[in-house]
Structure 1
Amino acid sequence: MSVARTCIAGLLISLLACDNLYCAQQPVEDSSASESTASLVRQLGSRSFQVRSDAERKLLESGFESLGAINQGINSDDPEVRTRSLRVMQLLERSIFVRYRDKIRDNPWLFPQQLTPGWETFFELVGESPEARALYVQLLQSETAIMLSLNRPGWQARFEQRCGEILSFPQGPFQAKTSLATMTALLFLACHPENTPSGPATTVINSFLNDSQFRRATRDQKTGPVLRSLVGQWILSSASSSSSQRLSLAASFEMSEGLDAARELISQRHKVSFSPTHLEDAISYLGRYGGPVVIEELEQLLDDEMKLRGRYRGGPEVQVRDIALAALLHLTNQSPETYGLNDLRPRTGFLYIGSSVRFESADDRLMAIEKWRTWRARNLGLAIPDSTIADEGVVL
């Protein structure tokens, strides 16, 4: 693989010369042909438009025999030579990708990075599987230009431009719907560690994640796990999305990648601009996906009397500590009814509907919290197997 990654030009020529994926030796170039293609590259900077156009056409006709000279042209001091060399290179990349896409799907590791741009990063994000390889090739087919631009500096600007095109021409009844492959390609590029999407680009990506077509694909038995891996990475890395946006996405996909976002919202609860609804969601989410490691975090909220919801039918208001206690009972597999929470209603992506987390009276709340502390002192931390069932809950 190291030969394939370092001898890009030679391997590309050898692929076309012998059509053998296991041929790793660089072929010997004919010196006269090399001089000829180098001369054609120099002609790309001619003052004559006809000479420039003819040179470009002949380089394309020469195929990958001209690759070495074109690579040098891309680094030329002449802007005209650079521009035309880059265009010829992109056309050649497209042609060889079309020729070898089926074999790339079988094993992308056998090809140079110039033909499998971003594959190693894609692999790191979603893993290695036939479904991952097939989806990767679909990305190359759907967004060939922008995917191949990964081989060159500044590809992030092309990504932003592509998102801008979609943002400027929103989908409508008379406009073509963005394909799933395009959505996935841009999501992958948005998650790329070398990219920091702008606010507008983030808006586009988030709109994809709420698209019904994309949602259905994430539930597909084959492609679903790959797509969900990308979604999870986006939730974790989206710097331009707010904590509440990332938490909402994680909950809607019923994924645990929103834990950091939940913690951020909880830590901001004393700010003037805090949202009671977002705080309620964050505590509930932490209880559903956090596991035993968040028990101490939630316990710190049992003294927080901040109001989240007003009184209802003469009962007390819903406070931060009420939601926290309900989450703790869920984590320790205890019955909420035995603590006075009798009407809890489940909520998709979270634990319960916030308005259902109510005690009959303020005294009932205090007794429930005291009961939790008694249970915790007696049960948590004991050297008993996880499967042991206590009288009022599971010993962790």
Structure 2
Amino acid sequence: MKRQWTWIGSLVLICGVASAADEQRRDPREMIDRLAARSFSQRIAAENALYESGHRILPYLESGLTHPNPEVRLRVETLIQRVSRSQLGETITDFLAPGSQTTLPGWDLVAEVTGDRPETRQVYGELLRGDTDLSAALSQPDQIEAELRRRVMLPGMPRLRDARGVSALSLLILLTHPEAEHPDDVARSAYYLLRQLVNQNATTPEDTMKLTLVAYWVTQPAPNLAQDRFELANRLGLPEAIHPAMELIDNPRRQFQIHEPFAVIAHYGGSEEMAALEKLLTDTTELSASRGENDAIKSTTQLRDLALAALIEMTKQDPETYGLKPFRRDPSGQIRNMSVAFDSEEARNKAFAQWKTWSTKNLKKFLAPPNEAAEGFSI
């Protein structure tokens, strides 16, 4: 009896294989129509045959999305996902093979920024393997903005998502894609999430990739996002914070926050930044004033004062010789907030006259052309 059932099972299996093979020889459009066959077995046979046809069947399946039968449309949509996942899985396997020249959607920029190494390939390949929506968006750059918006904003609401469950690396890959332009509200929402998701300690290849992509993002000019880019880079201790810092001092709209960019420029800046600061030494825009008794002005800070203080720090001079208080530093020795004020216009004029005398004799050596900069980012 057992032998009889084995024989019957084998016959069914052979017939099933033959049936699938027969189905694959049919016209793809006919197979798609058979997804609505009255017979359940015929529907399954057609579905299996379409799936086993591989990626060559995708154009036909995509045309099936407009089929008049709703069941066909549903099965076609499922098939597209299955075939795409299978194709992507094979491509990722090739991508991860030693010495592979295979690429993946979006990989070229990521490789250019983070380096094409086995560990970065592994992180990227596994990311796309587990996130087919990301892969699909990167394959169609016109969909990237919508995909980023979906990830950072709550559906139908201006409020941003909770950071839990959000992949920082996915956000950064979408945010930095060269073919995508993101509205300020989407990019700013991504920034708020990244501020929660990315930390300064790079203990894994993925952490390093995230920090490197942040460093790349903050160097891309975007005046409306200069403050956001600066705050993120500065919080992470990235020297690339100097790029948005320079944008901020060129247009100090949010004046109460302008002290920190000057501190970053003083710490990371070189001859190019010194030259830019020199041009600000005539800018008398008043940023703040402290008042004493009877509301009398006790001291004031002008934009040029911050430029002077930054130059004093960059040229390794003592601020006290200019009538300024010592700069406050963190444990690492870096100035976090360039707080400067003059008690009188006379004190200010004296300090600027001293700078003029000193710079005439000494500044030239600080403005010498720098050595060839190393490629890449600070991570």
TM score, norm. by length of structure 2: 0.73
- Which residue pairs with 1:261 in the alignment? 244
Q: Is the 8 A contact 1:302 1:321 kept in 2?
A: yes
Q: Output one character per residue of 1:231-260: Cα deviation in whole Å (capped at 9) or x when no partner.
A: 123324485953222222222222243444
- Which residue pairs with 1:201 in the alignment? 186
- Which residue pairs with 2:24 in the alignment? 36
- Which residue pairs with 1:95 in the alignment? 86
2:256 paired residue among 267, 270, 277: 277
Pairwise CA distance, 1:321: 1.6
1:342-353 to structure 2, matched below 5 A, reads 342-346=325-329, 351-353=335-337
- Which residue pairs with 1:287 in the alignment? 266
Letter in 1 for 2:172: L
1:129 correspondence with 2:114: no
Q: Is the 8 A contact 1:254 1:349 kept in 2?
A: no
Pairwise CA distance, 1:312: 5.7
- Which residue pairs with 2:356 in the alignment? 373
How many positions carry a matched residue from both structures? 340
Structure 1 275/199 Cα, relative in aligned 2: closer, same or farther at 3 Å? closer
Q: Output one character per residue of 1:193-221: Cα deviation in whole Å (capped at 9) or x when no partner.
A: 1212234432431122211x4215x5336
Structure 1 126/361 Cα, relative in aligned 2: closer, same or farther at 3 Å? same
Q: Output one character per residue of 1:153-202: Cα deviation in whole Å (capped at 9) or x when no partner.
A: 64323443343358969667xxx9215xx221122112111212234432
- Partner of 2:258: helix, strand, or coil? helix
1:284-363 to structure 2, matched below 5 A, reads 284-311=263-290, 315-346=298-329, 351-354=335-338, 356-363=339-346
Structure 1 38/147 Cα, relative in aligned 2: closer, same or farther at 3 Å? farther
Q: Output one character per residue of 1:121-151: Cα deviation in whole Å (capped at 9) or x when no partner.
A: 3212322223322321242144223323433
Percent of aligned pairs with the same amino acid: 25
Pairwise CA distance, 1:352: 4.3
In structure 2, how many angstroms separate the alpha carbons of the residues matched to 1:362 and 1:251?
A: 33
Structure 2 gaps, min length 5:
1-19, 371-379
Q: Is the 8 A contact 1:44 1:52 kept in 2?
A: no
In structure 2, how many angstroms separate the alpha carbons of the residues matched to 1:102 and 1:142?
A: 13
Q: Is the 8 A contact 1:341 1:358 kept in 2?
A: yes
Structure 1 gaps, min length 5:
1-31, 388-396
In structure 1, how many angstroms separate the alpha carbons of the residues matched to 2:333 and 2:232?
A: 9
In structure 1, how many angstroms separate the alpha carbons of the residues matched to 2:122 and 2:240?
A: 25
Q: Output one character per residue of 1:74-102: Cα deviation in whole Å (capped at 9) or x when no partner.
A: 3x487238986564243123235556756
Structure 1 140/219 Cα, relative in aligned 2: closer, same or farther at 3 Å? same
- Partner of 2:287: helix, strand, or coil? strand
Q: Output one character per residue of 1:34-71: Cα deviation in whole Å (capped at 9) or x when no partner.
A: 98356244432569365899567645456554322333
Stretch of structure 1 that moved more, 96-105 or 303-312: 96-105
Letter in 2 for 1:71: P
In structure 2, how many angstroms separate the alpha carbons of the residues matched to 1:60 and 1:170?
A: 41
Structure 1 63/46 Cα, relative in aligned 2: closer, same or farther at 3 Å? closer
Structure 1 373/63 Cα, relative in aligned 2: closer, same or farther at 3 Å? same
TM score, norm. by length of structure 1: 0.70
1:223-238 to structure 2, matched below 5 A, reads 223-237=206-220
In structure 1, how many angstroms separate the alpha carbons of the residues matched to 2:152 and 2:189?
A: 6
Letter in 1 for 2:282: D
In structure 1, how many angstroms separate the alpha carbons of the residues matched to 2:94 and 2:299?
A: 66
Q: Which runs of 4+ in 1 moved over 6 A?
A: 32-35, 169-172, 347-350, 383-387
- Which residue pairs with 2:195 in the alignment? 210
In structure 2, how many angstroms separate the alpha carbons of the residues matched to 1:278 and 1:146?
A: 36
- Which residue pairs with 1:178 in the alignment? 165
In structure 2, how many angstroms separate the alpha carbons of the residues matched to 1:151 and 1:243?
A: 29
Letter in 1 for 2:265: L
Q: Is the 8 A contact 1:316 1:362 kept in 2?
A: no
Pairwise CA distance, 1:324: 0.7
In structure 1, how many angstroms separate the alpha carbons of the residues matched to 2:80 and 2:48?
A: 9
In structure 1, how many angstroms separate the alpha carbons of the residues matched to 2:33 and 2:311?
A: 71
- Rg larger in 1 or in 2? 2
Letter in 1 for 2:108: E
1:78-157 to structure 2, matched below 5 A, reads 79-80=66-67, 87-95=78-86, 97-98=88-89, 101=92, 104-107=95-98, 109-111=100-102, 113=103, 116-152=104-140, 154-156=142-144, 157=146
Letter in 2 for 1:183: A
- Partner of 1:310: helix, strand, or coil? strand
